[in-house]
Structure 1
Amino acid sequence: MSGPPRRTAAVNRLGPIRHVVAGELDVGYVELGPADGPPVVLLHGFPYDVHSYVEVAPRLAAEGFRTIVPYLRGHGPTRFRTPAGLRSGQQAALGADLHALLDALDLPPAVLAGYDWGARAACIVAAVWPERCAGLVSVNSYQILDIASAGRPLRPDLEAGFWYFFYFATERGRAGLARDARAVAEVIWRRNSPRWHFDAATLDRAAEAFGNPDYVDVVVHGYRHRLGLADGDPRYARLEARLATRPTIPVPAVTLDGTADGNFPATDGGASAAHFVGPRAHHQVPGAGHNLPQEAPDAFVAAVREVSTTLHRERRPHPA
């Protein structure tokens, strides 16, 4: 016998959802703020959705930014335009998706800001197409993966935190994700952000995005490719080869580490400094976990504001 239905409190939502054809996707996204404002694109991670920015996006819009928050491939209302083909989750696909979205929306150079999968996409565009990126906000610094080292063992403490990488490498893991993506997300959330006291309604809201028909395929392929257990999509071979060189990021950047991130210990930013060849500031955010924009929206808004101020300063004419 099942128990009583779970009560969920009302939660704020971003909306309405707009759609644009961008590359191989029909992208669902939210847009807030003035159409002529400086653009900022906010990118979520796995297993999360656009509501990681439920507080950040309206505040940036109120400050005059044209604020765009897309659902990544395999999430929410974003759909592939063709019914067949590999549902790749590899890093090159995420970067190509973001580049195509910037083109589809005909955006001038934009501030790209994200964490997890979203930070990876933002770092890729900032490195490979810097003319499209006015500035970067990246949680956990440089996020372009070294796929060539995928088979090397991690530290045991990191492997424990990344249990889902290895779970998704198995058919049992695929089946578990397909059966109850919400439950998988809850375990990951609690490990990623041990000091974030989210409620059932917050998790339910994000879990709606996991009902996308391609969610399981994209996620499973992404982690299998990351471990060297699945081939990439040939369409992204050239881009993936470029990423294997670990290209530097020349645009102004602000990088953030949460001091309570369950998988990525906070650093002083020095280990990744060689990957940033433009102006860069690095900050630790006390008490924040992996889903930093939702857990510490003040810090994330401040980072977007800071990189935008850097842009203004860089563009100011030098005195004669």
Structure 2
Amino acid sequence: MPSQLPEMPDPRRREFVRIAAAAAATLAAGAATQPAMARPTTPRPGTPRPGTPMGPIRQIAAGVLDIGYVEMGPASGAPILLFHGWPYDIHAFAEVVPVLVARGHRVIIPHLRGHGSTVFRAASTPRNAQQAALAADGIALMDALRIEKAVVAGFDWGARTANIMAVLWPQRCTALVSVSGYLIGSQAGNAKPLAPAQELQWWYQFYFATERGKAGYAANTNAFNRQIWQLASPAWKFDDATFDRSAASLANPDHVAIVIHNYRWRLGLAEGEAQYDAVEARLAGAPPITIPTITMEGDANGAPHPAPENHRAKFTGPYEHRLITGGVGHNLPQEAPLAFAQAVLDATGLAR
């Protein structure tokens, strides 16, 4: 899939590609860091095998979850947290991580709740996927890993998670990279009808609102998500192995419950948890993001997404927007990894 790095002079481009190649070689040699509080585990179904470019999965108790995550790079490096979306997993960042590690960063890529080896610590905990809960997971992971401050970056659900972390805990977030811009929503906002063409893009949200949709997603998870990949990234010619590698992470026992709750909560068809009521009320006001931010968009994103001019005013700190061309769709980090990695590095620079 061809992609274009935004406004990168030729000498800088050559150096960036050289670093990326060197980083890949470093990771292939097994460069990884074992954090003191984490514990390696026998890989569970739906997690990468040790020795893959993403490295071994580690588990750590963080809030209500036992979070599965990959950590690469030196423990002393400036931390970066990368958050994937739905229906994707940590492999979206497989080619992003080596570039960041080569620049000396400590990179953490967690499985979101309902994905991979991330599981609830108690059977009684609600399988809640409202936006505030996912953001709280990010902060709980930082606390568990004793990370005071980090760059946060992501796409889809992961971008929304990073957006909310930046709003609620700006003192914990060095900078933000957000694919598709400002994604904080509310139940009241989602209740407003859209133009028919826009409503059509949200077909799966309405499907999930029904019990038939819940049963259909459970019965046809892989086929359903392959279709989402194709619709969201129409020019991305991914192969079966690429899809299967990420699809394995969707075999999580809570995956269906989390996905269904996420979309039903957005439409006001499912309750959230009372502990997040005050936070959601604040988020419903669409508060601005004040930390240094780079937003990104692929030129062939087939998923619902806002126009960049519609959210520019929401970013009040140092800010850039980048359009990545060449048929890049919704899964921007996996389709244009060098462009995404460069944005993360540049956002770090904006924070200086």
Please, what TM-score do these two structures have when normalized by structure 1?
Answer: 0.91
Q: How does 1:194-233 map to 2 (within 5 A)?
A: 194-233=234-273
In the alignment, the residues of structure 2 paired with residue 12 and residue 98 of structure 1 have an alpha-carbon distance, to the nearest angstrom, of 24
In the alignment, which residue of structure 2 is the partner of 1:284? 323
How far apart are residue 265 of structure 1 and its match?
5.9
Asked if residue 309 in structure 1 is aligned to residue 352 in structure 2, the reply is: no
Among 22, 34, 44, the residue aligned to 2:74: 34
In the alignment, which residue of structure 2 is the partner of 1:147? 187
| 1:169-219, Cα deviation, whole Å (9 max, x unpaired) | 111111111112111111111110001101111111111111111000010
In the alignment, which residue of structure 2 is the partner of 1:120? 160
Supply the AA of the counterpart residue of 2:295. T
In the alignment, which residue of structure 2 is the partner of 1:48? 88
SS of residue paired to 1:166? helix
8 Å CA contact retained: 2:202, 2:304: no
8 Å CA contact retained: 1:39, 1:108: no
In the alignment, which residue of structure 2 is the partner of 1:72? 112
8 Å CA contact retained: 2:201, 2:304: no
In the alignment, the residues of structure 2 paired with residue 149 and residue 301 of structure 1 have an alpha-carbon distance, to the nearest angstrom, of 32
How far apart are residue 66 of structure 1 and its match?
0.3
8 Å CA contact retained: 2:185, 2:283: yes
In the alignment, which residue of structure 1 is the partner of 2:46? none
In the alignment, the residues of structure 1 paired with residue 101 and residue 202 of structure 2 have an alpha-carbon distance, to the nearest angstrom, of 35
Among 263, 274, 277, the residue aligned to 1:234: 274
Among 236, 257, 272, the residue aligned to 2:311: 272
In the alignment, the residues of structure 1 paired with residue 347 and residue 124 of structure 2 have an alpha-carbon distance, to the nearest angstrom, of 40
How far apart are residue 69 of structure 1 and its match?
0.2
8 Å CA contact retained: 2:54, 2:70: yes
Q: Which runs of 4+ in 1 moved over 4 A?
A: none
8 Å CA contact retained: 1:71, 1:77: yes
Supply the AA of the counterpart residue of 2:74. P
8 Å CA contact retained: 1:161, 1:191: no
8 Å CA contact retained: 1:13, 1:51: no
In the alignment, the residues of structure 1 paired with residue 258 and residue 62 of structure 2 have an alpha-carbon distance, to the nearest angstrom, of 17
In the alignment, which residue of structure 2 is the partner of 1:315? none
| 1:64-121, Cα deviation, whole Å (9 max, x unpaired) | 1100000000101001010123201110111111111111111131100000000011
In the alignment, the residues of structure 1 paired with residue 67 and residue 114 of structure 2 have an alpha-carbon distance, to the nearest angstrom, of 10
How far apart are residue 237 of structure 1 and its match?
1.5
Among 221, 227, 230, the residue aligned to 1:190: 230
The sequence identity of aligned pairs, in percent, is 51
In the alignment, the residues of structure 2 paired with residue 166 and residue 246 of structure 1 have an alpha-carbon distance, to the nearest angstrom, of 24
Supply the AA of the counterpart residue of 1:175. A
In the alignment, which residue of structure 2 is the partner of 1:136? 176
How far apart are residue 264 of structure 1 and its match?
3.9
| 1:237-288, Cα deviation, whole Å (9 max, x unpaired) | 2221221121111100000011100024684x32212211100000101121
How far apart are residue 26 of structure 1 and its match?
0.6
In the alignment, the residues of structure 2 paired with residue 27 and residue 154 of structure 1 have an alpha-carbon distance, to the nearest angstrom, of 36
Please, what TM-score do these two structures have when normalized by structure 2?
Answer: 0.83
Structure 1 residues 177 and 295, CA gap change in structure 2 (3 angstroms): same
8 Å CA contact retained: 1:252, 1:279: yes
In the alignment, the residues of structure 1 paired with residue 148 and residue 318 of structure 2 have an alpha-carbon distance, to the nearest angstrom, of 20
SS of residue paired to 1:195? coil
In the alignment, the residues of structure 2 paired with residue 160 and residue 234 of structure 1 have an alpha-carbon distance, to the nearest angstrom, of 32
| 1:284-313, Cα deviation, whole Å (9 max, x unpaired) | 01121110000000110110011111122x
Supply the AA of the counterpart residue of 2:300. A
Supply the AA of the counterpart residue of 2:145. L
SS of residue paired to 1:97? helix
8 Å CA contact retained: 1:13, 1:54: yes
Q: Aligned residue pairs: how many?
A: 301
How far apart are residue 152 of structure 1 and its match?
1.7
Supply the AA of the counterpart residue of 2:210. T
Once superposed, what is the RMSD of the aligned Cα atoms? 1.4
Supply the AA of the counterpart residue of 1:203. F
* Residue range with higher mean Cα deviation, 142-151 or 43-52: 142-151
Q: Which runs of 5+ in 1 are unaligned?
A: 1-10, 313-320
In the alignment, which residue of structure 2 is the partner of 1:169? 209
In the alignment, the residues of structure 2 paired with residue 165 and residue 65 of structure 1 have an alpha-carbon distance, to the nearest angstrom, of 37
